[in-house]
Amino acid sequence: MIWVNIIIQGVLVGGLYALFAAGLSLIFGVMRLVNIAHGDLIVAVAYLAWSVVYVTGLHPLVSLLIVVPIAMAFGYALQRGILNRTLGKDILPPLLVTFGLSVIIQNGLLAAFTADSRKLNAGTLETASFPLLPGVDIGYLPLLQFVVAIAVILGLQYLFYRTALGRAFRATSDDSETALLMGLDKRKVYASAMALCLGVVAIAGVFLGVRANFDPAIGPGRLIFGFEAVIIGGLGNLWGTLAGGVILGVAQGIGAQINPGWQVLAGHIVFLIVLAIRPRGLFPRMDG
């Protein structure tokens, strides 16, 4: 039962990694943008949630009602004000700008909150569990974050393929010049996509803060987990991103069971194996 428990816990952790990765997958799918600051934005939202909880006394999950709209507004403004100016045939400018944004966020958080780690207190939700099998207990918090990850990806899939905004995303992604002739302003479409991305980032940031301690320096590590989940699953494929997160979580769980020092290494090894065998990931989006 030990290995069954490890695999189940790894699957549940994969839900958090899928939340880290969903925004990356969304942005890459719409505008082919690789956002180096993605992990730092997740951490920044965790600090925003901590501040909201500190001021209002709300439960961290209830604070999402405030945090998500703020994050979405910031994402829209960031894309319209800065990132849209960098997009073009050359991929280097957006990489450099988002790298600079990453440095600014880390140093800004360090100045505002110091290097001390913080945590969002969710009360009994953090430790409550129920028995699934003999020797296998399922925590309510990991289960909730996995269910939320599925709900987020379902919502994004519905938006992409069943709404006018989703059609605008797909049209702009496929051929931005033709979309412009059809009356779509790609600057506004891209800004809407970034707002949606930051909404997902807000959810990921709150769950990160509830699950573990965070500090200004951990953003790059969350970025790596997100990238690995996206690439394992397949670029631009949201369900593949969930699968990639699960594979990464299970690999880390197995590695930690073999040797506690191998937890992160095991995930990196699986990532490299997948990249060597299937460079486009296990479930790449099939473009027509």
Per-residue pLDDT of 107-147, as tens digits, reads: 999 999 999 999 999 999 999 999 888 888 899 999 999 99
Strand-strand pairing, 136-139 and 129-133: antiparallel
Q: Is 207 exposed, middle or buried (0-12, 13-18, 19+ CB in 10 A)?
A: buried
Which residues, other chains included, contact 69 with Cβ-Cβ below 8 Å and sequence gap of 6+? none
Other CB atoms closer than 10 Å to residue 172's CB: what's the count?
25
Cross-strand pairs, 234: none
Report the predicted TM-score, pTM, of the whole model to 2 decimal places: 0.93
Spatial distance between the Cα atoms of 241 and 236, rounded to a whole number of angstroms: 8
Dig out the tokens for 101 from the structure: 């944004």
- Cβ-defined contacts of 180-187 (< 8 Å, 24+): 187/80, 187/84
Distances in whole angstroms, Cα of residue 199 to Cα of each of 72, 152, 193, 234, 251: 5, 10, 10, 22, 28
- Name, in order, each residue with C-beta under 8 angstroms of 144's C-beta and a sequence gap of 6 or more: 125
List the structure tokens of 206: 């709150």
With beta carbons less than 8 A apart as the criterion, state whether 120 and 53 touch.
yes
Residue 287 above 70 pLDDT?
no
pLDDT digits (tens, 9 = 90+) for 60-95: 999 999 999 999 999 999 999 999 999 888 888 999
What does the mean pLDDT of the chain come to? 92
End-to-end CA distance of the chain: 45
Would you list the domain boundaries of the chain?
A: 2-116+135-277
Topology of domain 2-116+135-277 in CATH is: ABC transporter involved in vitamin B12 uptake, BtuC (1.10.3470)
For 123, which DSSP code? G
Which percentage of the chain shows pLDDT scores above 90? 73
What length does the chain have? Answer: 288
Provide Rg for the chain, Cα atoms. 19
